[in-house]
Amino acid sequence: MPDWVAVVLAVVGGLAVLWAALIAVLVVQHRRLGRELDWREILRLIPDVVRLVRRLAADPAVPMATRIWLGALLVYLLLPIDLVPDFLPVIGVLDDALIAALVLRYAIRHAGRDAVARHWPGTTAGLEGMLALMGFGADEGEG
């Protein structure tokens, strides 16, 4: 087997393992909260999360560093150039999801749950689901 094929297979295998680990973390977070995993609910969160990021980035009460990170996230998500091209199935959106999750976690820690709740455009259940996906329990995330 040529070396480049081995490298490509190793990268694809590593990304598959990473994807499986992320799904496992998601399932564990939901089970820890005593909830069943509902993929439709997760897909419905995407537009609400985008609106949340935009609203937090525009809020002058949110710390400037957090607003800069949120603005950079919005720019990154809008740019056609990604770390992994979006036309690749599954892994194409993985880089976007990972970066968004990291920036959101940072924003929740620094802006506080009150700011997130104030700007959340969706339902209370959706907010609780998003916070659970980010790994925040009942009393975490205060700024």
Taking only the tens place, the pLDDT of each residue in 103-113 is 888 999 999 99
Domain count within the chain: 1
Question: What angle is formed at CA 97 by the lines to CA 92 and CA 102, rounded to 5 degrees?
Answer: 140
Inside any domain, residue 10 = no
Inside any domain, residue 125 = yes
What is residue 130's predicted lDDT score, i.e. its pLDDT?
79
Inside any domain, residue 84 = yes
What region, left, alpha or beta, does residue 90 occupy, with left being phi > 0 and alpha being psi -120 to 50 degrees? Answer: left
Inside any domain, residue 124 = yes
Q: Identify the domain containing residue 123 by its residue range.
A: 37-133
Taking only the tens place, the pLDDT of each residue in 32-45 is 767 666 666 666 67
- Of residues 59 and 41, more confidently modeled: 59
Inside any domain, residue 22 = no
How big is the chain by its Cα radius of gyration, in Å?
Answer: 17
Inside any domain, residue 89 = yes
Inside any domain, residue 62 = yes
What is residue 39's predicted lDDT score, i.e. its pLDDT?
63
pTM over 0.75: no
Inside any domain, residue 30 = no
Mean pLDDT of 21-39: 66
